[in-house]
Structure 1
């Protein structure tokens, strides 16, 4: 085969498709065999969430290891029992290899669920100081937030920093969840509540009237101690429904 001199196509009635015919320099015709292609279909892996309720964006903020991701998983578990969400395990939310290896949230994670009154887009923010930029990215799209504070620690550096950033970004409605009450005595829990109210007032929030729920995200996730577990989570969501106003959306404008 010394070279190509021409390329033309002809219609094959039997195959019902044009085939390429190549004329070689010696005058012979070379026609490649017809190759059939099977159409490949792609289906979305994630089912579209039906939104027939007002939508609100919220998220969990607070110090590292205070239980933000555990609470997020507990919310989906409790709501899944009522067919209002798809249950997500802790490992499903912190699913990056480094997050699993270190046991902390690094990237923001997004999940969806609904209550009786609203549909929520929930952002689980990292609490570690090294990943504060990721936390800002997640907070910027929130209409309200859930501040998670461990009863065993009280307010910590990232508790203060997250409140400050939330205020600067414009997240003015925050509900507090005092977590890990099963690991602290009642007096300690009361002191933490007083400390958080003072801190929020200092940061420009309505610390005297902010809703504060006490419970254990781990108990809710494991189905133990309903009073501080599942019942506390449902009480938290009820307060979020009431305290965080439904945002107004400009539905008649582009770039929604």
Structure 2
């Protein structure tokens, strides 16, 4: 996967964060274009070999991180822009109880929304603050961007404003 920031080095402990329970392991190798390296740096796309970890133990959307540096969360306040019809978004408003997919980095997670007090519906083209509750935890921090999708089509763009849980 892509190194988002920092450096991953052979021999270092890493955590696998998101979707499932966080697990600790050790980086035993870094590969790029079939060459073995000592480290992978921010911006590079690398394969990371992990001690005692099978291919099926990790899944799309999880992140590797320095232990304790990032945590998985399900509930957060967000600021969202809902695409207008002309931008390829929805043609109709949505209401509380709307359950779209929230696309973080490389993976979709279903979530429910809670609208601000007094807001009944959200129209295409609106900017809105909403509380999101995901069905699976994602490694996140304030400022992380996401897309809102419906059947693979992007209908909104948002940013994590404040983690709740």
- TM-score, normalised on structure 2? 0.28
- Structure with higher strand content: 2
Q: Which has the higher contact order (CA 8 A, sep 6+)?
A: 2
Larger radius of gyration: 1
Q: Which has the higher helix share?
A: 1
TM-score normalized with structure 1 length: 0.21
